[in-house]
Structure 1
Amino acid sequence: MELVCMESAPKVQRAYPDHTLLSDHRVLQNLLLTEDRYIPRISYFKCVQKEIEPNMRKMVSFWMLEDWEIVVLGKLKWDLSVTTPNDFIEHILGKLLFAADNLELIKKHSQTFIAMCATDFNFAMYPPSMIATGSIAAAIHGLGIRCNDLTDESLTELLAKITCTELDCLKACQEQIEAALTESLKQSQQQTVSKTVHEPDLTSTPTDVRDVNL
C-alpha cells in the first residue's frame, strides 16, 4: 500500500517522485541512449512530407495537439512511448542544489519552455535531453536564482556534464530558447496592442459637438 497516492483531496492525485529511480544514474543513462532512436532525420520533411512547408510546420504541430491526435498517431504508427524532454527534468534537477521552492519554480518555467519548443520546428533536430537541459538553464538564468557559489558559466558546465552534452551546443540551444521566448512575448504584446487599437475608446469620444473634427 506504499504506492497509494497520499496528496490531499484538493490537489491532483499523483504519486510522489520515486527517489530510487531518480537517484539511480542508470535510469538517466538509459534515457540518453533511448532518445537517439526517435530523433527525426533532417531529410524527413524533404523526402517524406514534401508538401509541408517550413512556415506550415508550427500550424501542423498545433493540429497534432487536438483531440484526434491519437487517431493520427495510430495511423502513422508513431511510437507514443518516445523519450521526451520532460522525462529528463526530474533527473537533472535532482542533481542541482536548490531549495525545494526554487526547484518547483524552475521546473514550472522549464516545462513552459519545453512546451514552447514543441511547437517550433527550429528545435526539432535537438535531442530531448538538450532541450530539457537548455530549458532548465534558460529558466535558472531568467529567474536569477543562484546555485550555491556557482557562476552562470560553471552552472552551464555542470548541466552539460550531467547529460553528456557538448557545452557549445548547450549554450546555443539555451540562447535559441531565450530568443524564441523573446519573440513569443513580442508577438503577444503586438497582438494585445492591435486588439486595443481596434477597440473603440469611449473615454476619448468628444463630449462637445464643437470638438468633433470633420
Structure 2
Amino acid sequence: MNLSCEENMQNSGNSSSGVDMCVAGADRALDQDPRLLVNLLSLERIHSLHTDYFQHVQIDIQPFMRKVVTTWMLEVCEEQQCEEQVFPLAVSYMDRFLAQRPISRQQLQLLAVTAMLLASKFRQCHPLSVDLLCAYTDNSVHPNEVRQWEVILLQRLNWQLSIATAFDFIEPFLARVPWGRVNPLVRTHALTLTSVCYTETEFLLVPPSLVAVACIAAAARGLRVRMCITELCDLTQTAPAAAELVARHVERVLARETQPQEPRARANPPAKQPTTDRTQLPDTPTDVQDVHF
C-alpha cells in the first residue's frame, strides 16, 4: 500500500492573508477504487435536478440573473484561491434551494453568498469568512442576513451537504481510461470547461457525470489527444450519442464565451459624469454597479 504524502506545496505560505493554501493532490488509490464511481453515481441520482425551476418555481428570477451571479461566484472563488470543488458545490446548493423555494431578485446575491460560505466550510480547511463575502457585495449583503440564511439554506437542503458535482467525476474518469494521463492539460482544461458549464443555465438539468464526460472529451479534442468517448460512456452507462451531443454543446459555449466582443462605447456611448458624482466601489471581481437585481 502506497502511503506517500503528495500535497501540492506550490501555494504553501504564499497567501497574502497568511493562510496556508497547501492542498492535497489526487489520491490515485481512491480514484481507481471501484466503489468510488458507484457511490458518486448514487449521490447524483439522489440530488440531481429534474425540473426547470425557472418555469415551475421562480417567478422573479430569470436565467440571465443566474448567469450573472454564478459568474461573480466563480470570480470570487478564483480570487480567493478556493479549492476546486467549492464553486460547483456552491452552485449546486443554490440550484437545489431555487428548485424548492421562490425568492426575489434582491435575495439572489444573498443566497449566492450563503452557498459559497457553506461550500467553503464543507470543502476547505479554511472557509471564507462572512465579512469577506459581504465585502465582495460592496456590503449590500449584511453579515447577520448571511448567518440567518445559512440556517435557512441548511434546512432546505435537509442538512445533506455531500453532493456529487461534475468536478468529483473528473479524476476518477481520467484514472480509468488509458489516455487519461497522457497530457496533464486535459484535466486542467476539463475543469475549466466544467466551471463554464456551471455558469450556463443550459446545463442545469444535465447530470454531473455527463457534464464531466462531455468536458473531458471536449478538452481532449482541443488538445489533440487521441481518445474515445465511448470509453468514458461505459463508466456511467451513458449513450455515446448523448455524450457527444453535450460535448458539442460545450464546445459551442466555449467558442461563444471566448470570442472577442466589441466595446459597448461603439454601440451606445454612455454619458460621462463628473468624477465627484460617481459612486466609488472597492476593487471586487465583478463591479456590482453593473448588476441590476
Contact 2:190/2:219 (8 A) holds in 1:
yes
Work out whether 1:112 is the aligned partner of 2:192: yes
> What is the CA deviation profile of residues 71-115 of structure 1, one whole-angstrom value per residue up to 9, with x for unaligned ones?
45653333432110010111000012237460x200000000000
Alignment of 1:170-189 (within 5 A): 170-186=243-259, 189=260
Q: For 1:15 and 1:21, how far apart are their aligned partners in 2?
A: 13
Distance 1:3 1:27 in 2: 20
Cα separation, 1, equivalents of 2:229 and 2:10: 39
Q: Give the distance between the partners of 2:56 and 2:163, measured in 1 at CA.
A: 22
Decide which structure has the larger Cα Rg and report it. 1
How far is the alpha carbon of 1:196 from its aligned partner? 9.7
Q: For 1:152-182, what per-residue CA distance to the aligned partner results, in whole angstroms no more than 9, with x for missing partners?
A: xxx0111111222111110111011000001
1:142, 1:112 → 2: CA distance? 13
Q: Give 2:179's aligned residue.
A: 98
Q: Which stretch of the first structure deviates more once superposed, 135-144 or 41-50?
A: 41-50
Is 1:140 the equivalent of 2:201?
no
CA distance in 2, matches of 1:38, 1:171: 24
2:149 is the counterpart of 1:76: no
Is 1:190 aligned to 2:270, yes or no? no
CA distance in 2, matches of 1:75, 1:55: 25
Aligned residue runs from structure 1 range 18-57, under 5 A = 18-57=27-66
Query: What's 2:275 paired with?
Result: none
Q: Does 1:88 align with 2:88?
A: no
TM-score (ref. length: structure 1): 0.75
> Counterparts of 2:61 and 2:205 in 1: how far apart (Å)?
16
Cα offset, 1:141, TM superposition? 0.7
What's 1:204 paired with? Answer: none
Give the alignment partner of residue 58 of structure 1, picking from 67, 79, 104.
67
Listed one character per residue, the Cα deviations across residues 131-170 of structure 1 (whole Å, up to 9, x for unaligned) are 00100000001111124xxxxxxx0111111222111110
* Runs of 4+ more than 4 Å apart: 2-12, 63-68, 195-198
What letter matches 1:108 in structure 2?
Answer: T
Q: Which runs of 5+ in 1 are unaligned?
A: 148-154, 199-214
TM-score normalized by the length of structure 2: 0.56
Q: Residue 43 of structure 1: CA displacement?
A: 4.1
Unaligned runs of 5+ in 2: 13-20, 77-112, 118-145, 268-293
- Taking the aligned partners of 1:113 and 1:170, their CA distance within structure 2 comes to 15
